[in-house]
Structure formats: C-alpha cells, structure tokens
Amino acid sequence: MFGKKKKLPGCIGFVDFEHWYISLERQYGVKPDIKGWKAELEKSFEVEEIAVFGDFSNAGLRAELDKIRDVTPMVFDTKNPSEHYKKDFTDFIMLDYIYQKAMTSRDTDTFIIFTGDGHFSSVVRFIINQCRRKVGIYGITGATSSQLKSAASWYHEIPSDTEVYRTYYKLIAQNFDYLTVHREFGTGSTPEKIVERISRRNRIDQVEIAKALCQMLDDGYVYKAVGMDEKGKKISILKPNWELLSRDGLWSR
C-alpha cells in the first residue's frame, strides 16, 4: 500500500564560477543563482557534493561568496600567486579535482560540470568511456563549446529565453517600486526613461529591456496611463499592475 520512494541517482557537481558569472553578466546583465541551480538539480539527483572554483580576487566574483557558501562549503579560490599569470589556472585546478573524484567516487552515478570551456572535453570522455559514468554539462547559452556539448551524456544551457525575460521583468518591477517610493511617477515613468535607467544601472542592452517592457504591456503586467511633466503638461506614462506582478512572483511588497 505504501510504496517506497524511488531513490534518486547520486551526482557530484563541479562549477567553473568564472564562466558562469562573467558570461552571464556580459551577455545578459544578470547574476548567477547557485541556490536555484542546486534546487533544480535536486529534482532529479541526490546531490552528494558541489565544488565551486574561481579566482575570487575579482571583486564581482568575491561579492558572490556568501551566496555560494550558503549552498556549499567546497569553495576553491584559484588565484595564482605567481606574478606570471596563467590564463587557465582555474581550469587546471578544477580538472585535477574532477579526475580525482572520478577515480575515487565509484558509487556516484553522474558527474555534472558547469563550464563552457572545450578543454574539459577530454575529462568528460574519460569519465564516460573509462569510468562508465554519465556526465552532464551546464553552460551559458552562446558561451559553451560545441565540442564539449557533443562529448557529454547530456547538456543544458542557461538561461532560457523565458528565464532571461523573467529576470528583466523583475528589474522593471523593481524600477516601478523605486518610482512609487520616491514619488517620481511623471517624466521618470515614460517608456524611454524606464528603458534608459534599467539599461544603464544593469548594463543590459536597451533593445532587450524595451522588448521585455513591450511584452509586459501585452501580458498586462504594465498599463498605459496619463501623467504630468514638470510644467504640468500631460504625458503618456506606464504604471504597474501590482496585483498581477505579485501573483506571478515578479514583485513582493
């Protein structure tokens, strides 16, 4: 009557955080969500360990350390102390750790490597062919080696278009929140000003924010209204549908 819960296959994750952070910021203007990523893995796997690698002398990466340590204590700072900087020092340390785990973690079903670097193709083939284990690749869309993807058992690129737009929706909602708190609904809430402010603050292409804002209008998250400029002249502005934004998890009070 009471069936046993099916046991999930075990996995170990290895994260090239430099790839994740830098590629995501440059291409999409957003930050990694390592907690959400782990939660996604836990739907399909028993996560045995997650090891994160990166040169955390980079100020942007260093600011993410607390978030990473909320998820895993296995954080490897790969900063090279030598004055002759080696470009792939993070790769070298990460590859060595993966090979060690592949040889010693014989009961682990799947190895998951988060990187976009084609240098990892050889270790992927080694684990699949010699160790008889599966290897999944996570990488950033548009920044992941095709050679690496073809070598893996499976791969998944993030973010999807839906995830990117959802992130932009949240940034737009936060901007409306700011305008509300500071009573700046007027010239500050014209479509042009909204796009310009969010693009500048988050270093995202204005075209992408404008497309997201248009889609929010179509979806009912934002509606057109009439406001006043500094001279009391009527202008066309945008206002948020707080109820809908809150319902769909895009804004919280």
Residues spanned by the domain of 48: 10-159
* Residue 30 counted as domain residue: yes
Does residue 207 share a domain with residue 125? no
State the pLDDT at residue 81: 67
* In a shared domain, residues 148 and 28: yes
More confident of the two residues 166 and 218 = 218
Over residues 120-179, the pLDDT tens digits come to: 999 999 999 999 999 999 999 889 999 999 999 999 999 877 888 888 999 999 999 988
Please tell me the distance from the alpha carbon of residue 68 to that of residue 62, in angstroms, as a whole number. Answer: 10
Last residue of a domain, one of 134, 159, 184: 159
155 and 222 together in one domain: no
Q: H helices within the chain, ranges in order?
A: 17-28, 34-41, 59-62, 65-71, 89-104, 121-129, 146-151, 161-181, 191-202, 206-219, 242-247
Same domain, 145 and 209: no
Last residue of a domain, one of 159, 176, 194: 159
pTM equals 0.74
**Residues 76-124 pLDDT 10s:** 998 876 655 555 688 889 999 999 999 999 899 999 999 999 999 999 9
Asked if residue 141 belongs to a domain, the reply is yes
One domain for residues 139 and 87? yes
**Residues in contact with 251: Cβ distance below 8 Å, sequence separation at least 6, in sequence order:** 170, 173, 174, 176, 177, 240, 242, 245
167 shares a domain with 136: no
Q: Is residue 224 part of a domain?
A: yes
Q: How many domains does the chain have?
A: 2
Q: Are the beta carbons of 61 and 18 closer than 8 angstroms? A: yes
- Judgement on whether residues 70 and 191 belong to the same structural domain of the protein: no
Q: How far is CA 119 from its chain centroid?
A: 22
Between residues 186 and 13, which one has the greater pLDDT? 13
Asked if 224 and 149 sit in the same domain, the reply is: no
Whether residues 186 and 149 share a domain: the answer is: no
Hey, what are 81's tokens? 């102390």
- pLDDT tens, 67-76? 999 999 999 9
Instruction: Report yes or no: 15 and 47 within 8 Å, Cβ to Cβ.
Output: no
- CATH number at 148 reads 3.40.50.1010
> Pairing mode, if any, of strands 234-240 and 222-228?
antiparallel
Whether the pLDDT of residue 185 is over 80: the answer is no
Residue labelled with tokens 């990466």: 61
pLDDT for 25? 85
Structural domain contains residue 3: no
Q: Is 5 a domain residue?
A: no
> Is residue 18 domain-resident?
yes
**Are 67 and 171 part of one and the same domain?**
no
Domain boundary among 125, 159, 193: 159
Quick one: 106 and 59 in the same domain?
A: yes
Q: Which of 34, 242, 2 is nearest to 158 (CA)?
A: 34
Q: Are residues 146 and 25 part of one domain?
A: yes
